[in-house]
Amino acid sequence: MSKYYYLIASLLELTLDDNKLSYTVADFKEELYASLSDAVDKKLIELFYLQFDNKNVLKLLENKEAVIDMRGNYSSEELLEYISLAKEAGEVDPKLFPPYLSTFVSEYFNASESGGDDVFREDRLATLYYEYGMRSGNGFISSWFELNLNINNILVALTARKHKLEIAPLIVGNTEVSEALRTSGARDFGLSGDVDYFDHVLKINETQELLEREKKTDTMKWDWIEEVNFFNYFTIERLYAFLLQLEIIERWISLDKEKGSQLFRNIIDSLKQLKVES
C-alpha cells in the first residue's frame, strides 16, 4: 500500500462548521489526482468521483445536450458513446465503463421500451453504485458505501411505516440490514442490538425540519469517518476521507433554504404518489 506523506501533510484541516472553502473536490481532481502513485489507489479515488458521473448519466438520458457536472470521470462525449453501446449491446467493456452503469443504462432502455415505471430510477442507480462501492476491495471504503446504503434504507423504512406504506418494495440492496427491514415486523426491525448506529438514525428521523435532519445525518457520517479512519495516517483511506468530508462541506455551503424547501416538496410529492399507487 502506497504512503502519501507529503500529499496528506499538505491537505487542509476540515471541520463540519466550515462555511467557506478555498479548496474543492474539483481542485483535488485537477491538482493532486496525478500525484497518486498506485493504479489501485487511483481507481479508488475515481470511485468517489463516480457519484457525479451517475448524475451526468441521468441528465444525458433525459437530454443529450444537457450540461454535465465536470467533476465526473467522463466527458459528455464519452458518456454518450458508452450509453449508446450499453443500449445496443447491453454492456460496455468494464475496463472502459463501470459495469453497474452499463447495467443501469441497459435497464433504463428496456424499461422505456416496455413502458415500465421509471419513478425510482435514481434510487436504482444509487443502489447499484453502493453495491459497486461495497466490492471495492478496500475495507474503509466498502464500509462507507454500506453505511450509506443502510442509513438510507432505515430512513425510508421509518418514513414508510409512518405513512402506512408497504416497506419491502422500497428497500434496496442485499445487505443483512436490507433483509431485516424487508421482513421484520418489530418496532426496531430487530436491528437495535446488531446495528450500533440504529438508535442514532431513529433519533435523526424524529427531526421534523428537513434541512436539520440532513445536517444531523451528515454529522453522523462525519463522526463515523473520523472514528473509523482514526488510525489511517498517510494512506489512500485518509485521502478518501478528506474528499468525503470536503464534499459534505461543499454541499452544505451550496444548500440554501430555497433548495431545502424544494427537496421537501419533492419528498412529499413522492409520498403522495406512493399512496396513490398503493
Q: Name the residue with higher pLDDT: 54 or 2.
A: 54
pLDDT at residue number 265: 54
* Residue 233 scores a pLDDT above 50: yes
Q: On the CB side of 143, how many CA atoms lie within 13 Å of its CA?
A: 13
Please report the pLDDT score of residue 3 as a whole number: 79
Q: Give 168's pLDDT tier (boundaries 50, 70, 90).
A: very high
How many other β-carbons are positioned within 10 Å of the β-carbon of residue 131?
Answer: 17
- The pLDDT value recorded for residue 106 is 93
- How far apart, in whole angstroms, are the C-alpha atoms of residue 247 and residue 68? 18
Answer yes or no: is pLDDT of 97 > 70: yes
pLDDT at residue number 240 = 94
pLDDT(214) > 90: no
What is the structure's pLDDT at 259?
53
- pLDDT of the residue at 15: 73
3-state secondary structure the chain: CCCCHHHHHCCCCCCCCCCCCCCCHHHHHHHCHHHCCCHHHHHHHHHHHHHHHHHHHHHHHHCCCCCCCCCCCCCHHHHHHHHHHHHHHCCCCCCCCCHHHHHHHHHHHHHHHHCCCCCCHHHHHHHHHHHHHHCCCCHHHHHHHHHHHHHHHHHHHHHHHHCCCCCHHHCCCCCHHHHHHHHCCCCCCCCCCCCCCHHHHHHHHCCCCHHHHHHHHHHHHHHHHHHHCCCCCCCHHHHHHHHHHHHHHHHHHHCCHHHHHHHHHHHHHHHHHHHHHC
pLDDT above 70: residue 1:
no
Q: What is the pLDDT of residues 18-67, one digit of tens each?
A: 666 778 899 988 887 888 888 899 999 999 999 999 999 999 999 999 99
Top-confidence residue, 133 or 174: 133
Cell 488510525 -> residue: 231
* pTM score above 0.85: no
Q: pLDDT digits over 108-160, tens only? A: 998 876 555 555 688 889 889 999 999 999 999 999 999 999 998 999 899 88
Amino acid letter, 210: L
pLDDT recorded at residue 119: 53
